[in-house]
Amino acid sequence: MKIQSFIGNTPLVELKTFDVPADVRILAKLEFFNPSGSIKDRIVSYIIDDAERRGLLKPGATIVENTSGNTGAAIAALAATRDYRAILTMPDKVSKEKQDALRAMGAQVIVCPTSAPPDTAEHYVTQARRIHAETPNSFMLNQYDNPLNAEAHFNSTGPEIWSALGRSVTAFVASGSTGGTLSGTSRFLKLKNSAVKSVLLDPVGSIYHRYFHEGVVDPAQIAPYFVEGAGEDHLAKCMDFSVVDDVIQFTDADAFDTCQHLAQREGLICGGTSGANVWGAVQVARSMTKPATIVTVLPDSGNKYISKIYNPEWLSQNGFKLGEARTLEPAP
């Protein structure tokens, strides 16, 4: 069997070392159990399968995509098994581990400045679109605006959570960049039970928090942050705010401090978005006044970030002091 056969049906584990009310549970889906190591395997296989069925992706084709690394890894892995070429653009904040893994699978990696404003020639999304336009027999997943992104989670992640927990699910909490995970999973869970709360986590420096609460996109608020794979500097069409009940901001420190907690108390070495997701799940859990089950996802493994968020020297150089974030503070 090819690696695609092992995508999905990832474990769901309960996190028990966080300070939340005794009758509130936090469960996390371990998405780094997917073959290429992240939740993005779900959408890449779904979109590629659809493109092949419709004749949009043909033998010998080149797959072009902009990525923060995990979508790229899924593309590179599947391209390697189906004789496609992969060209991937990414911002320069993406970890060296991610970049090296893509190259190891034969992908061409083009690194672009994180500071490049949206729609400029240097921006990694613009670069991908240009390469796609200039490359014959190429296909672009267009993960930020492709409705199949969310549909993949509606048809896999959501049903898996519901099958395991049913009506006990109180809230689904996740950070978002393309918005596919949160939108598709939340839409399915709300279809089964309209009372399920959907909470998006957005890093400081991203546009989604203010857009949700005020309907404003302010370019002046766009600022650099270190967490990879969360937040955005433009509105992704895949992000469906109609299924979102709240948006909570988090900081890099919130995410990275929670990553340390997960590693040292739960035995889970996870990426920055996992730390953000669990931090947010803790905040939602602390707001509950009756028994509840909060569900989130751990999108990828911390093995992709050893040189960064698990490196004391890197943390110190970038001004992070572990333990300063609010993850472990007692509930008020």
Fill in the amino acid letter for 294.
Answer: I
Q: How far is the C-alpha of 197 from the C-alpha of 292, rounded, in Å?
A: 11
Q: How far is the C-alpha of 176 from the C-alpha of 200, rounded, in Å?
A: 7
321 annotated active-site: no
Q: Where are the beta strands (DSSP E) in the chain?
A: 12-15, 24-30, 62-66, 85-91, 108-112, 138-140, 171-175, 197-203, 246-250, 292-298
Asked if 327 contacts 257 with a C-beta cutoff of 8 angstroms, the reply is: yes
Given 40, 98, 304, 308, the catalytic residue: 40
Q: Checking phi first, is residue 27 left (phi over 0); if not, alpha (psi -120 to 50) or beta?
A: beta
Q: Checking phi first, is residue 180 left (phi over 0); if not, alpha (psi -120 to 50) or beta?
A: alpha
Q: Which residues pair with 295 in a beta bridge?
A: 27, 172
Q: How far is the C-alpha of 327 from the C-alpha of 250, rounded, in Å?
A: 11
Structure tokens at 106: 């034969």
Question: Which sequence positions are flagged as catalytic?
Answer: 40
